[in-house]
Each structure stands twice: as structure tokens, then as C-alpha cells.
Structure 1
């Protein structure tokens, strides 16, 4: 059973979300502030975190950073902040998705289902895949392991999903719509800032010189390509 941690200081919203999730057989914990959320995440090890950014004791982006420093748990931001800069800031800190308030419960459930499918229930990759080796890093899709300079590199579930699509199409351009659809879902058509942020994450973690990538290539206005 999937365990969800709901982090929000609006009691009515939390109550509504908790009731809806439990009705769909999720296990649910809740926290009204950042400190309680971090403690609950350590104690209960949720499968997904639903996180508001406007918490009473600390900024939600700081909560994302602290969660990311110790866990790869998927983080779905649910916030009243509509500014695109806020979305990029949250994604850059390590969030996997972002929903703005007010939202419909159907949208929340769809986004939650998508992130759990991507991270908890994705099928095994085809047998016989061999690790991808470059002069700077090695990627083993089957083992979900990345190494650079002899050290293991931690990638989030969304980073893995994006990297896998690119590697399986290595040498070929993958258009932005296809990447958004395969990594985030069919309802994502215009959120190209997601791709920009996550490609920057991957380059910082893998490329010897992220400012001049040799393997994770941008084709301006079209999409991305992985060159081994």
C-alpha cells in the first residue's frame, strides 16, 4: 500500500485530501509545518510527499532540500504560488511535480497516480541491456546505478526516468512533447521548464563540464539527444 505524507497548514484542505486518499486505499500521514514534516518523513518513510510551500515555520523549498539530502522520495508540491519562478525554484530544489491551488481532487489524484507509477510501479527494463559507458560516467539502467569518477551518483526517480528515455533513444533527437509525455504524463504538453530544470540537474551530476555538455545535448526549440 502506498504511504503519503501530506504537509500543509490548512486543516480543511488536509482533512479533505486525507479523506480522499484513504478512500482510495492510500495510507496517509499529515504534518502542519516543516519541522514536523521532516520528522514524520524520517519516522514513517513515506512513498510520496505532498508539500505546500507556504508553511508557518520554514519555506517549503527548504523542506524539499532537506528531504533530498537524505531521501529520493517523490515530492509533489501543492502550492498557491503561481509564479513560474517559484515552480522552477521548487523543481530545482528536487521536487518531482507542481500543482497550483486551487486544484480539483481529480487532478491531484491523477498527478499522484502518475508520480507513484513512475517511481514505485514502473516495469523492469528489458533484459540484456548493457551499461552505457562514456569517458566520464557509467549508467546501468537495469541496476539503476550511475557512477562518475569512481563514485556512485544519486539520481532522483524523475532524473532516472528522463535519462532512461534519452538513453533508449541514444543518438536520436527526442522531442520535447515526447519527453514530457513519457516522463510526466500525457497531460503535460507545455511545461518545457521541467525539461530545462531536470536536464540541468543531470548535467551537473554527470557531465565533466555542465556548461559544455558532450552527452546530454540540447537541440534548441526541438528537444534533447543523448550521445554516448
Structure 2
């Protein structure tokens, strides 16, 4: 699942990830509440989460995943954001994020990570 407020970036990521074997983007959300509802409904294996959303934040989404993992099927979470300050990264780690990717230069790293994750499953 992609949680990203930029329609252009979300579309591009959906296409890139959709080209990978055994990867399907099951839902997309641009705000915190929609993301939480979609996570509960679709119960994805992995959530790619931006910190800054149209309404709410990725931290709120991560907090929901952390507080009630059974509700969401215990998806793994990674962050894809330009907001990589040390404090933000630390908070994400506390909330169970597996990896933090910087949007500025780690798009390919994110795609490689998703591909490697699917191959390991």
C-alpha cells in the first residue's frame, strides 16, 4: 500500500512497483484517516508511508499500526519522505519502521527494497 499525498509521485511509484514480480499495490491514500481505513480494509504486507500528508501525518499512521497491529494484519512499514531529521527517524524507528528512504535520492533503493522483500518471502 502507498500512503503518499503527491498524486504524481504516487502514480509513478504504483507503476514502478506494479512492474515487479509478485508485487501489487492494493491501495493508495493521501491522508491519515483514509490510510488507516485502507490499511484495515486491505491488510497489506507492506505500507510505504510519507511523513507529510494532505491531512494528518505519516507518524499518525505509524502510531495506529503500532497501537493496534492485529487490526491491520501486522504489515511491515517503511517511510519514503523528505523529512528525514534525526528526531523524525528516531520516532519512526520507535514505531516499528523497518527502513527510512529519502525521496530526494532513494527512489531506486525503495524499489530494490520492495523487490528484495518479495523475493525473501
TM-score bracket relative to the smaller structure: 0.7 to 0.9
Match of 2:45 in 1: 47
The offset of 1:114, in angstroms, is 4.1
Deviation at 1:112, TM superposition (A): 2.0
Change (3 A) 1:117 1:89: farther
- Residue 100 of structure 2 is matched in structure 1 by 98
Q: TM-score, normalised by structure 2?
A: 0.85
Secondary structure of the 1:76 match is: strand
Q: Which has the higher helix share?
A: 2
Contact 2:31 2:57 in 1 (8 A): no
Equivalent in 12, 16, 21 of residue 8 of structure 2: 12
> Is 1:111 the counterpart of 2:121 in the alignment?
no
CA radius of gyration, larger in? 1
What is the alpha-carbon root mean square deviation over aligned residues? Answer: 1.6
The match for 1:87 is: 89
**Once the 2 structures are TM-superposed, how far is the Cα of residue 116 of structure 1 from its aligned partner?**
4.5
The more displaced of 10-19 and 105-114 is 105-114
TM-score, normalization by structure 1 = 0.47
Distance 2:85 2:107 in 1: 22
Cα offsets for 1:8-36 (capped at 9, x unmatched): 10011001000011111421121111111
The verdict on how the C-alpha distance between 1:82 and 1:105 changes in structure 2, with shifts beyond 3 A counting, is closer
Q: Comparing both chains, which one has the higher relative contact order based on Cα–Cα distances under 8 Å and sequence gaps of 6 or more?
A: 2
Cα distance between partner residues in 2 of 1:74 and 1:89: 16
Cα contact 1:32–1:55 (8 A) shared by 2:
yes
Instruction: State the SS of the aligned residue for 2:48.
Output: strand
**How many pairs are equivalent?**
115
C-alpha deviations, 1:182-227, integer Å up to 9, x for none?
Answer: xxxxxxxxxxxxxxxxxxxxxxxxxxxxxxxxxxxxxxxxxxxxxx
- Quick check: 1:77–1:97 contact (8 Å CA) kept in 2? yes
* SS of structure 2 residue aligned to 1:27: coil
Is 2:38 the partner of 1:36? no
Residues 1:46 and 1:109: Cα distance change in structure 2 (over 3 Å): same
Higher strand proportion (structure 1 or 2): 1
